[in-house]
Amino acid sequence: EAQVTQNPRYLITVTGKKLTVTCSQNMNHEYMSWYRQDPGLGLRQIYYSMNVEVTDKGDVPEGYKVSRKEKRNFPLILESPSPNQTSLYFCASSRTRLSYEQYFGPGTRLTVT
């Protein structure tokens, strides 16, 4: 089954404790991205990757890092999480950056206390 998986689905952590949210897709997609969803703000792109070893900042990259060492994986790293990073995070992938349809993962709800 074609899918985007994220882990963990729920995470509660404390300020400053480094964490990684994993994202994996099994569709051989080139393009992957991370979004955060906040009430009243919709989805905002954090980082994206057009292919292996090619990443770039989205609209709200501060406080986040990403890497793309393999085509299928695109982890999101929070080196020193802060409470303002409490949010719902989505990973998405598409065949290329020009593909119309993105496939979204189920989301990771992160709470930073």
Partner 1 sequence: AQSVTQLGSHVSVSEGALVLLRCNYSSSVPPYLFWYVQYPNQGLQLLLKYTTGATLVKGINGFEAEFKKSETSFHLTKPSAHMSDAAEYFCAVSDSGGGADGLTFGKGTHLIIQP
Decide if residue 34 touches partner 1 (CB under 8 A): no
Tell me the closest approach of the beta carbon of residue 17 to partner 1, in angstroms. Answer: 26
Binding mask 72-91 for partner 1 (x = CB under 8 A): ------------------x-
Please list, residue by residue across 27-64, b when 16 or more beta carbons sit within 10 angstroms of its beta carbon and e when fewer do: eebbbbbbbbeeeeeeeebbbbbeeeeebeebebbeeb
Beta carbon of residue 46, minimum distance to partner 1 (angstroms, whole number): 13
Is 26 an interacting residue with respect to partner 1 (CB under 8 A)?
no
Q: Is position 92 an interface residue for partner 1 (rule: CB under 8 A)?
A: yes
Query: Rounded to the nearest 5 degrees, what angle is found at the Cα of 11, between the Cα atoms of 109 and 17?
Result: 120
Query: Taking CB under 8 A as the rule, does residue 27 contact partner 1?
Result: no
33 binds partner 1 (CB under 8 A): yes
3-state DSSP: the chain helix, strand, coil percent, rounded to 5?
5, 50, 45
Return the sign of the alpha-carbon dihedral for residues 109, 39, 94, 76. Answer: negative
Q: Under the rule (CB under 8 A), what is the footprint of partner 1?
A: 4, 31, 33, 40-45, 48, 50, 90, 92, 94, 96-107
